[in-house]
């Protein structure tokens, strides 16, 4: 978890590779659907371009289908999901059904100014429609309103590790693995 630009997608790839599980990024799945012009993509695009969350029903169904695929049977890493309280509840139900459990929640913390600068930089490289300054600010607001409170829910379950997301990508990765080792030992 972490605000837009915290490095979730970046770190998710390393964590998933390390544990030999798929990284399931709701943002990536939405973007793939947008570029393929599917019905789901058309629906998601309206929300993403405005910096808003895609409705829970749409997102939950998509995740439910994805974690049901064979490659996720032995475990998976979720990147960008859950983002709302309704998604937390839905995820609990999904994994109760599949027989998985949540081992840990990695929360990346990054300064606001750094986030805006990272995303504006990505805008120049990738040209994502939601990486304009106004939309980035709206995404930050939505994150603070709807997603940040979720960390408290997972803290109460004792599975959160907070990791400083500032600095080089490699340094952040090292901190993530140290934090996960600490969680496994606790
Ligand atoms: P996401 O794709 O999850 O987009 P994001 O929040 O910007 O995170 P991302 O993973 O891309 O950024 P990262 O920090 O890795 O979601 C996009 C949209 O999809 C949402 O706004 C929403 O509309 C929709 N959506 C997704 N999930 C949803 C859900 N569950 N419910 C409803 N709607 C949902 O990287 C940012 C940049 O920083 C990159 O360019 C990277 O190279 C760079 N970077 C990373 N680490 C760095 C470091 N240490 N130093 C310098 N740069 C770094």
CA dihedral 4, 6, 8, 13 (to 10 degrees): 130
Of the residues 13, 64, 122, 174, only one is catalytic, namely: 122
Inside any domain, residue 2 = no
Which pTM value belongs to this model?
0.92
The predicted pLDDT at position 171 comes to 98
Q: Which domain holds residue 14?
A: 8-185
Inside any domain, residue 42 = yes
128 is catalytic: yes
Residue 125 phi, psi (nearest 5): -85, -50
174 is catalytic: no
Question: Per-residue pLDDT averaged across 40-47, rounded?
Answer: 95
Instruction: Give strand ranges (E) for the chain.
Output: 23-25, 77-79, 105-109, 160-164
Structure tokens belonging to residue 55: 């409705």
pLDDT in tens, 160-175: 999 999 999 999 999 9
For the chain, what is the mean pLDDT? 95
- Unique residue bearing structure tokens 């289908």: 65
Residue whose CA is at the smallest distance from ligand 1 atom 10: 9
Look at the chain and report how many structural domains it folds into: 1
Residue whose CA is at the smallest distance from ligand 1 atom 53: 7
The CATH code of the domain that includes 45 is 3.40.50.300
Inside any domain, residue 1 = no
Alpha helices for 22-69 (secondary structure H): 26-36, 39-50, 56-67
Inside any domain, residue 115 = yes
Strands 23-25 and 77-79: parallel
Inside any domain, residue 3 = no
pLDDT tier at 186, thresholds 50, 70, 90? confident
pLDDT at 185 over 90: no
Inside any domain, residue 47 = yes
């Amino acid at each position: 978890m972490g605000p837009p630009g915290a490095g979730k997608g970046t770190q998710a790839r390393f964590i998933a590779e390390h544990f030999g599980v798929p990284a399931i990024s709701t943002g990536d799945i939405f973007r793939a659907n947008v570029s393929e012009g599917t019905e789901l993509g058309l629906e998601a695009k309206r929300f993403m371009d405005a910096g808003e969350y895609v409705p829970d029903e749409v997102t939950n169904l998509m995740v439910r289908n994805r974690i049901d695929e064979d490659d996720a049977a032995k475990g998976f890493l979720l990147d960008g999901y859950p983002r709302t309280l309704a998604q937390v509840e839905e995820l609990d139900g999904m994994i109760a059904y599949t027989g998985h459990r949540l081992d840990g929640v990695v929360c990346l913390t990054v300064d606001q100014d750094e986030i805006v600068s990272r995303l504006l930089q990505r805008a120049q490289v990738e040209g994502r429609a939601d990486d304009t300054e106004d939309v980035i600010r709206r995404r930050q607001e939505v994150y603070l309103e709807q997603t940040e409170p979720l960390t408290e829910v997972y803290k109460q379950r004792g599975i959160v590790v907070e990791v400083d997301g500032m600095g080089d990508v490699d340094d952040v990765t090292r901190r993530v693995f140290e934090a996960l080792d600490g969680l496994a030992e606790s």
